[in-house]
């Protein structure tokens, strides 16, 4: 393809002819080049969320505690039978819902990336990968603060952490990649297939009840036990949870395989998103 004319001008905005590795090198370069924008956007998102509330950042702690209280209430009233847990049920549910919210949050924040930033994206040219990294960073910050409080609760319940617990943040990465991957595909669907994106939203919410979050993997209900067995989230949530509270996990091999698949799935979704997000921007109806 001819890219230079006789006046020494070169063709702008040529991306499709880059190799797979070349594209990822470009993403990394752009993120470095726009690192100051990245910092500014993270600051805006965090400050804007809490600037106009009286109790500010405390909301990060209040929301997960309220949701845990509901599950404890349901459990103590005998409405749910979670199965045998190795650690006290309040600790189990606090930790599991916290890890689940990490997955769901990564889906939610990236699946709205085009719709929420549409006006912004059509008024300034900047690399979309910066926005993806920014959203993930904001999500991680929003996770870390309440999670540290949760750790204090775990200590109060007498949970002792081993050195393996230090690997907990690394063990969450595959979960983040899976949630972000599904989120990026759904972000495209939100522009051109709103019904499908709503189905995905509902499915992700429902998935919590098919994953050992408020019940254990040793559930007695046969059909649910089968779903749990083949649900990749069982391993992506179970591994970091058990690593933190017990320092061991019985199905590490399955976790590693699921992690590899999640990584490959994320790369696939990122490539699709980067290829089509710009094209779908012109189809976006900004409301």
Q: Pick the binder of another protein from 157, 161, 263, 276 (CB under 8 A).
A: 276
Residue 159's closest CA among 95, 250, 212?
95
Residue 145 near another protein by CB under 8 A: no
Q: Closer CB to another protein, residue 257 or residue 286?
A: 286
Tell me if 143 sits within 8 A of 102, measured CB to CB.
yes
State the greatest distance between any 2 C-alpha atoms of the chain, in Å, as a whole number.
Answer: 80
- For the CB of residue 110, give the shortest distance to another protein in the complex, in Å: 17
Element (H, E) at 181: helix 173-192
Residue 34 near another protein by CB under 8 A: yes
Say how far apart CA 175 and CA 201 lie, in whole Å: 17
Say how far apart CA 113 and CA 218 lie, in whole Å: 37
Span from 7-15, 140-148, 240-248, 261-269 in contact with another protein (CB under 8 A): 7-15
- Reading the block at residue 133, the tokens are 């990294």
- For the CB of residue 45, give the shortest distance to another protein in the complex, in Å: 10
Q: Which positions ≥6 away from 37 have C-beta within 8 Å?
A: 126, 130
Residues 10-29 binding another protein (CB under 8 A) are 10-13
Residues 179-218 binding another protein (CB under 8 A) are 188-189, 191-194
Residue 75 exposure: Cα atoms within 13 Å on the Cβ side: 20
Q: Pick the binder of another protein from 121, 138, 175, 178 (CB under 8 A).
A: 121
Q: Closer CB to another protein, residue 42 or residue 208?
A: 42
Q: Pick the binder of another protein from 25, 28, 47, 257 (CB under 8 A).
A: 47
- Reading the block at residue 195, the tokens are 């019904």
Residues 61-120 binding another protein (CB under 8 A) are 119-120
Residue 137 near another protein by CB under 8 A: no
- Reading the block at residue 6, the tokens are 């006789």
Say how far apart CA 124 and CA 155 lie, in whole Å: 48
Q: From the centroid of its chain, how far is CA 124?
A: 26
DSSP summary character for residue 96: H
- For the CB of residue 145, give the shortest distance to another protein in the complex, in Å: 20
Residue 33 near another protein by CB under 8 A: yes
Task: Mark 146-185 with x for binding to another protein (rule: CB under 8 A) and - for no binding.
Answer: ----------------------------------------
- For the CB of residue 58, give the shortest distance to another protein in the complex, in Å: 19
Q: Pick the binder of another protein from 24, 83, 104, 126 (CB under 8 A).
A: 126
Q: What is the DSSP string of 256-272?
A: HHHHHHHHHHHHHHHHH
- For the CB of residue 130, give the shortest distance to another protein in the complex, in Å: 10
Say how far apart CA 15 and CA 34 lie, in whole Å: 18
The residues of the shown chain that bind another protein, judged by CB under 8 A, are: 4-5, 7-13, 33-34, 36-37, 39-40, 44, 47-48, 51-52, 119-126, 188-189, 191-194, 272, 276, 278-283, 285
């Amino acid at each position: 393809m001819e890219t230079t004319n006789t006046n020494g001008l070169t063709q702008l905005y040529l991306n499709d002819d880059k190799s797979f590795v070349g594209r990822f090198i470009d993403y990394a370069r752009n993120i470095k080049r726009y690192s100051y924008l990245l910092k500014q956007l993270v600051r805006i998102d965090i400050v804007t969320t809490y600037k106009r509330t009286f109790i500010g950042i405390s909301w990060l702690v209040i929301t997960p505690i309220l949701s845990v209280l509901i599950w404890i209430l349901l459990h103590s009233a005998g409405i749910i039978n979670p199965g045998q847990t190795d650690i006290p049920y309040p600790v189990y549910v606090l930790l599991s819902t916290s890890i689940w919210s990490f997955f769901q949050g990564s889906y939610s924040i990236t699946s709205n990336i085009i719709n929420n930033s549409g006006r912004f994206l059509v008024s300034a040219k900047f690399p979309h990968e910066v926005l993806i990294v920014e959203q993930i960073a904001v999500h991680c910050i929003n996770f870390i603060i309440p999670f540290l409080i949760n750790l204090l609760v775990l200590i109060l319940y007498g949970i002792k952490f081993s050195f393996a617990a230090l690997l907990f943040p690394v063990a969450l990465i595959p979960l983040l990649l899976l949630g972000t991957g599904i989120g990026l595909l759904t972000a495209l669907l939100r522009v051109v297939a709103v019904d499908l994106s709503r189905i995905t939203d509902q499915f992700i919410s429902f998935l919590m009840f098919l994953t050992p979050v408020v019940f254990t993997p040793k559930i007695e209900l046969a059909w649910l036990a089968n779903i749990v067995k083949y649900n990749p989230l069982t391993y992506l949530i179970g591994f970091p949870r058990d690593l933190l509270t017990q320092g061991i996990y019985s199905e590490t091999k399955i976790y590693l395989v699921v992690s590899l698949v999640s990584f490959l799935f994320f790369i696939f979704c990122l490539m699709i998103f980067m290829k089509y997000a710009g094209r779908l921007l012109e189809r976006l109806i900004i409301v």
